[in-house]
Amino acid sequence: MTDGAMGTLLEERGIPQGRAYDLANLTHPSLVQSVHEEYIDAGARLIETNTYGANRFKLAPHGLGDQVAEINRAGVEIARRAAGDRALVAGAMGPIGRHLVPVGKITHAEAFRAFTEQAQALLDAGIDLFVLETFADLEELHLAVDAVRSLCSHPIIAQKTFIEDGETLAGGLPRRVIEEVSRWDIVAFGANCTVGPQRMLSIIQEMAEHSPLPISAIPTAGLPHLIGGRVAYDATPEYFARYGRQMVEAGARIVGGCCGTTPAHIRALAQAVRGVEPGSRRVAVSVRTRSDETKATRQAQASRLAEKLGRKFVVTVELDVPRGLDMSSLIQAAEALRDQGCDCINISDGARARLRMNPMVVGRLVQEIVGIEVIQHFACRDRNLLAIQADLLGAHALGLRNILAITGDPTQVGDYPTATSVFDVDAIGLVRILRAFNNGVDLSGTSIGEKTAFLIAVAYNPLARNPEEEADRLRRKADEGAHFIFTQPIYEMSVLEIAVREAERVGLPLLMGVLPLRSSRHAEFFHNEVPGIQIPEEMRRALAELEGDDAKRYGIEQAQQFVRRAKGMTAGMYIMPPALSPHVAGQVMEALH
């Protein structure tokens, strides 16, 4: 028997919402101790220190990043006083609270150091064992286990959080996780948080049937909801205990409570499981059938662009999405480009943070009305991790197979400078998500029913301010599963040679960016104000002496000459004509004949 929730109980008893609960070890030690004692009196024989979030990354936003050792040490001392000789004291450690690369920006080395720092503090204070809990990312959990193991041989109970909605079981995720963690140096594995007792039971049944390790089951007190701005849970102690007994009968050997549970829940649970032998009895749950297996391995049809890439010189053209609702001008431009031999239309995603129609809708209209494929640009700026995955599933369902993964321009440069930029992930993390979908699972490893067929494009800037960093980012995009590369507009062969060399280094096809200039002002703007674009001085001088149609003609001629020289070096080109000007793109395409 373990204890129940600490954070929700502390909040209920006066700790302000939003404060780091771990800080209560220093500010309210008697309150923390009293909660520990109540759980032990209720029947807990293993209590966790109030240190779940006491790592450097989670404490830093509260201004407590330099107090990791102090807060963890105090947490152990309080738990020790409460436990006496009646209970074991487990050092509680949770995830760092930020995404690791490539999904986020925290490196594995940084996370490892944070876990090691916290684990060392807990060890020095004298814990009996570790509980690593509420990890959604199995890779991060493994990193935490390795960090603890680098310091000691103390027992480790590791726990992942699952979202059980039927598909989790149908996809066999608990079983696959068990197969992975059984190779780790831990004494028990289980599930905690996120789901209530009924859904937790289904997860435990699936895990216990395949696990060589003892299983732990630590559910919440039902689903959370808001009452007066505070999170509340409704599962009664009696209901919680009834399912807790079934978890033990299903094979759980460690049981307790997570968010929303109280000493009353633990008391009821302790009474319900007294004398019950952990078993492997299974009751009716969703079972993976042969048809499920077939569905899970089915591969969606690839795009026509995927079939062309590497077999012909591919031409894609970007069309600016007009403001408002009327897309007729864009449709007409796409029809003209189709007739001129263009392979694909690029649809931007709020470029420069401008308000435009959702690119998925625009892309669907173009493909349906015009009959030409699109490459949907997909920016990370406006979506959190949940919305990114939801929108990608929607894009695939709409028949949009080609995705250019981009980080996106910050909102400060656009129509609504005060809007929030999300950036849960960047382009590298987005590529990983797309690759996961192509493997038939989401980012958490849960089955999505079938494998998607996304063709994944990424951007590369050969004139980046930090070329080494840009090359490294390209390598990471390739490692995560990118299929081909777009460049910024290029005007010099020496710059294209840099891009070709880096593309060859990562083994991906390259589409060179071609942007025909239309005036001296146009050229000066791109050269001086747009990062990553460099216009040769000779070209800028020539444009300065030309006006109107003469300047536009010169810009197109220069683009044509460049395409003729560069055609044999790349897999295709990406034309960015001014506004909705299909005739300009068509004139550039004439250089291919």
Same domain, 117 and 211: yes
Q: What share of the chain is helix, strand, coil (3-state, %, to 5)?
A: 45, 15, 35
Mean pLDDT of 348-370: 92
The pLDDT score that the predictor gives to residue 291 is 39
**CA 499 centroid distance within chain:** 28
Neighbour-count burial of 547, counting CB atoms closer than 10 A to its CB (0-12 exposed, 13-18 middle, 19+ buried): exposed
Kindly report the pTM of this predicted structure. 0.76
Same domain, 192 and 331: no
Is the preceding omega at residue 102 within 30 degrees of 0, hence cis? yes
* Last residue within a domain, chosen from 262, 290, 318: 290
Same domain, 408 and 460: yes
Same domain, 263 and 318: no
- What are the Cα distances from residue 232, in Å, to 224, 258, 261, 546? 6, 13, 10, 70
Kindly indicate the confidence band of residue 593, based on its pLDDT and cuts at 50, 70 and 90. Answer: confident
Evaluate whether residue 437 is within a structural domain: yes
Kindly indicate the confidence band of residue 71, based on its pLDDT and cuts at 50, 70 and 90. Answer: very high
Q: Please give the residue that has the higher pLDDT: either 500 or 222.
A: 500
The pLDDT score that the predictor gives to residue 287 is 35
Provide the 8-state DSSP code for 100.
Answer: B
Percent of the chain with pLDDT over 70: 94
CA dist 240 and 233 (Å) reads 11
The token pair at 476 is: 């990471």
The pLDDT score that the predictor gives to residue 228 is 62
Evaluate whether residue 1 is within a structural domain: no
Same domain, 80 and 137: yes
Provide the 8-state DSSP code for 280.
Answer: -
**Which CATH number is 476's domain given?**
3.20.20.220
The pLDDT score that the predictor gives to residue 298 is 67
Evaluate whether residue 136 is within a structural domain: yes
The token pair at 523 is: 């050229």
Residue 296 confidence (pLDDT) above 50: no
The token pair at 569 is: 């070096």
CA R_g for the chain: 29
**Per the structure, how many domains does the chain have?**
2
The residue among 376, 377, 391, 400 whose CA lies nearest residue 303 is 400
Same domain, 29 and 169: yes
Percent of the chain with pLDDT over 90: 75
The pLDDT score that the predictor gives to residue 92 is 98
Mean pLDDT of 543-553: 94
CA dist 592 and 514 (Å) reads 13
Kindly indicate the confidence band of residue 418, based on its pLDDT and cuts at 50, 70 and 90. Answer: confident
* Last residue within a domain, chosen from 225, 256, 290: 290
Evaluate whether residue 541 is within a structural domain: yes
Same domain, 279 and 336: no
Residue 301 confidence (pLDDT) above 60: yes
CA dist 567 and 497 (Å) reads 12
The pLDDT score that the predictor gives to residue 292 is 42
pLDDT, one tens digit per residue, over 426-484 is: 999 999 999 999 999 998 888 888 999 999 999 999 999 899 999 999 999 999 999 99
The pLDDT score that the predictor gives to residue 226 is 61
Same domain, 286 and 310: no
**Which CATH number is 134's domain given?**
3.20.20.330
The pLDDT score that the predictor gives to residue 227 is 63
Kindly indicate the confidence band of residue 164, based on its pLDDT and cuts at 50, 70 and 90. Answer: low
Give the torsion through C-alpha atoms of 262, 267, 272, 276, to 10 deg.
110
pLDDT, one tens digit per residue, over 384-400 is: 999 999 999 999 999 99
The pLDDT score that the predictor gives to residue 264 is 97
Q: Please give the residue that has the higher pLDDT: either 224 or 543.
A: 543
User: Which of helix, strand or coil describes residue 105?
Assistant: coil
Same domain, 26 and 107: yes
Out of 182-186, 195-199, 281-285, 404-408, least confident range: 281-285
The pLDDT score that the predictor gives to residue 281 is 41
Evaluate whether residue 147 is within a structural domain: yes
Same domain, 334 and 282: no
**CA 545 centroid distance within chain:** 50
pLDDT, one tens digit per residue, over 202-259 is: 899 989 888 999 999 999 998 776 666 667 788 899 999 999 999 999 999 999 999 9
Kindly indicate the confidence band of residue 293, based on its pLDDT and cuts at 50, 70 and 90. Answer: very low
User: Within 13 Å and on the Cβ side, how many CA atoms surround 276?
Assistant: 26
CA dist 215 and 174 (Å) reads 12
Same domain, 230 and 377: no
pLDDT, one tens digit per residue, over 6-29 is: 998 998 898 887 789 999 999 999
User: Which of helix, strand or coil describes residue 57?
Assistant: helix
Helix residue ranges, H only, 462-519: 467-480, 493-506
CB 509 within 8 A of CB 458: no
Mean pLDDT of 95-116: 92
Provide the 8-state DSSP code for 368.
Answer: I
In the block, tokens 């992942």 appear at 160
CA dist 323 and 342 (Å) reads 24
CA dist 359 and 156 (Å) reads 47
pLDDT, one tens digit per residue, over 503-515 is: 999 999 999 999 9
* Last residue within a domain, chosen from 271, 290, 309: 290
pLDDT, averaged across the chain? 91
Residue 285 corresponds to which amino acid? V
Evaluate whether residue 162 is within a structural domain: yes
CA dist 279 and 315 (Å) reads 63
Evaluate whether residue 295 is within a structural domain: no
Range of the domain at 123: 7-290
The β-bridge relationship of strands 484-489 and 46-48 is unpaired
Neighbours of 171 (CB within 10 A): 22
Same domain, 479 and 417: yes
Kindly indicate the confidence band of residue 280, based on its pLDDT and cuts at 50, 70 and 90. Answer: low
Provide the 8-state DSSP code for 416.
Answer: -
The residue among 279, 364, 317, 218 whose CA lies nearest residue 580 is 317
Residue 151 confidence (pLDDT) above 90: yes
The pLDDT score that the predictor gives to residue 141 is 97
The pLDDT score that the predictor gives to residue 25 is 97
